[in-house]
């Protein structure tokens, strides 16, 4: 079936075209429709289906990115409506005038949303059976159930999230840690790096942590990945941005505000110098770290950052300074041997002085440490989380509450920073 004449582009928003709902329905209905529900047909039985997701990324007060894959190349769109009622808008991705199509990976931005509002979305995707220069032939369509999410309230006085890290391709660990966390009451999840050992198979991010996330929360609440050094390794590392969409701009590092809490995500790069043999001349992380520091300098000057009541920094590799040695001599001397830790210590810690950071959350060392604020070096506490614990962080009028729980449910830390 040829749909060229049935799709009417009605309205252009900044990152998505809204297609008139009636025409979108027509687009999803070939002459002999075989609409199926993805959730009802997970095995597919040879039919066109959603294979991973949907999962939410880059949630802001006015938008969110819906990410998913299909079993074959198709044309995918996302329908969105206000909770339970209201008109349906159909959003697609557009780049350089071309509507995204003939692909299996999809990341569709829903924008022009209202803050503090319940929405529902569903995927409608149609297989493309052949894509000739002057004739596109569509096939079977798939429609998912509606999934609910809520846009953040800029006036909110509390924000809560779960953070965990160093899962290293163990989805059962990821599941167990998530199941011990209050996923119903938090706003989102941050994966603070090294969710994979190195990226070698296209299915790996799904198998390692994305499918588990979709199963437990990610259709309704977003996650972000604060990339670790291991996720920069492997022959597919340069394709990770097809899976992870932390910001609408497409960067891994970024800055979120949720109510009166500001969250900075930094992208650590590698642990060894760029010139190390194992990178084979293909690493340029020194310049990338400096790029982030220049960006962060502007963020710190921004109204949103200055107005925030709470400020959290997330970074996989902990920054180190030799003056921290009295806090934990063995830990600090070990970190001083690694270029990544030392470089972040040199370029980041001086910048963050006097910026009233409440807490920095890091990872990477595979051992748990709480480094209390150290005046003139790091004027804020640094948590180094281990590889078998997750934490819930609640920012509210009482301060920043942190509860760290390990895989067995044992509480490792339960404290408030104010
Ligand atoms: Fe790491």
Q: In CATH, which superfamily holds the domain spanning 9-150?
A: Immunoglobulins (2.60.40.10)
Question: How far is it, in rounded angstroms, from Cα 350 to Cα 338?
Answer: 19
Of 41 and 5, the one with more pLDDT? 41
What was the pLDDT predicted at 84?
A: 73
> What whole-number distance in Å separates Cα of residue 230 and Cα of residue 191?
13
Q: How confident is the model at residue 354 (pLDDT cuts 50, 70, 90)?
A: confident
Confidence of residue 90 (pLDDT cuts 50, 70, 90): very high
Q: How far is the CA of 3 from the centre of ligand 1 (A)?
A: 48
Tokens of 417: 């920073």
| pLDDT score at 248 | 87
Q: Kindly tell me if the per-residue pLDDT of 322 is higher than 80.
A: yes
What integer is the mean pLDDT of 155-183? 97
- 23-53 per-position pLDDT tens digit: 333 333 333 223 334 444 443 455 999 999 9
Distance, CA of 56 to CA of 109 (rounded, Å) = 10
Please state the pTM of the whole predicted model.
0.90
Query: Where exactly are the structural domains of the chain?
Result: 9-150, 159-417
CA distances from 337 to 111, 206, 321, 343 (A): 45, 33, 11, 11
pLDDT in tens, 218-262: 999 999 999 999 999 999 999 999 999 999 889 999 999 999 999
Dist. CA 10 → ligand 1 center (Å): 46
For the segment 283-293, the average pLDDT, to the nearest whole number, is: 98
Q: Tell me, which fold does domain 159-417 have in CATH?
A: Purple Acid Phosphatase; chain A, domain 2 (3.60.21)
Distance CA 282, CA 268 (A): 16
Q: What pLDDT is stored for residue 35 in this prediction?
A: 35
Angstrom distance (rounded) from CA 14 to CA 2: 28
Ligand 1 centre to CA of 23 (Å) is: 48
Determine the pLDDT at residue 7: 35
Quote the pLDDT of residue 418. Answer: 85
**Residue 8's pLDDT band (cuts 50, 70, 90):** very low
Q: Please name the residue ranges forming H helices in 75-207.
A: 171-179, 204-205
CB neighbour list of residue 332: distance below 8 Å, 6 or more residues apart: 320, 322, 324, 325
Cα 329 to averaged position of ligand 1 atoms, centre (Å): 20
226 and 256 Cβ atoms separated by less than 8 Å: no
Strand partners, 12: 17
Residues within 5 A (CB) of ion ligand 1: 194, 228-229, 364
């Amino acid at each position: 079936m040829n749909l060229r004449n049935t799709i009417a582009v009605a309205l252009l928003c900044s990152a998505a075209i809204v297609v008139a709902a009636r025409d979108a329905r027509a687009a999803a209905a070939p002459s002999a429709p075989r609409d199926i529900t993805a959730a009802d047909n997970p095995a597919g039985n040879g039919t066109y289906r959603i294979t991973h997701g949907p999962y939410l990324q880059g949630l802001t007060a006015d938008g969110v990115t819906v990410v998913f894959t299909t079993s074959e190349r198709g044309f995918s769109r996302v329908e969105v409506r206000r909770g339970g009622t209201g008109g349906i808008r159909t959003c697609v991705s557009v780049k350089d005038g071309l509507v995204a199509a003939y692909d299996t990976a999809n990341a569709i931005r829903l924008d022009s949303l209202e803050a503090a509002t319940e929405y529902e979305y569903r995927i409608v995707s149609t297989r493309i059976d052949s894509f000739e220069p002057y004739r596109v032939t569509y096939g079977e369509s798939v429609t998912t159930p509606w999934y609910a999410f809520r846009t953040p309230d800029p006036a909110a006085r509390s924000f809560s999230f779960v953070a965990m890290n160093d899962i290293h391709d163990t989805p059962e660990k990821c599941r167990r840690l998530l199941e011990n966390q209050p996923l119903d009451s938090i706003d989102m999840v941050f994966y603070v790096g090294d969710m994979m050992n190195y990226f070698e198979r296209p299915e790996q991010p799904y198998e390692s942590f994305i499918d588990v996330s979709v199963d437990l929360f990610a259709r309704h609440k977003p996650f972000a990945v604060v990339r670790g050094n291991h996720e920069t390794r492997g022959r597919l590392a340069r394709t990770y941005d097809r899976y992870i969409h932390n910001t609408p701009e497409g960067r891994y590092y970024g800055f979120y505000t949720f109510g009166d809490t500001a969250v900075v995500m930094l992208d650590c790069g590698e642990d060894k110098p760029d010139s190390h043999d194992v990178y084979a001349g293909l690493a340029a992380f020194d310049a990338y770290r400096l790029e982030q520091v220049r960006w962060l300098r502007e963020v710190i000057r921004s109204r949103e950052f200055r107005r925030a009541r709470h400020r959290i920094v997330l970074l996989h590799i902990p920054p180190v300074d030799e003056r921290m040695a009295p806090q934990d001599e063995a830990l600090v001397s070990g970190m001083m041997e690694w270029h990544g830790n030392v470089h972040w210590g040199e370029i980041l810690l001086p910048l963050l002085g006097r910026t009233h950071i409440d807490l920095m959350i890091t990872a990477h060392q595979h051992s748990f440490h709480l480094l209390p604020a150290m005046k003139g070096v790091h004027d804020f506490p640094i948590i180094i989380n281990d590889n078998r614990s997750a934490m819930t962080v609640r920012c509210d009028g009482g301060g920043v509450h942190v509860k760290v729980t390990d895989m067995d449910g044992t509480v490792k830390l339960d404290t408030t920073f104010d």
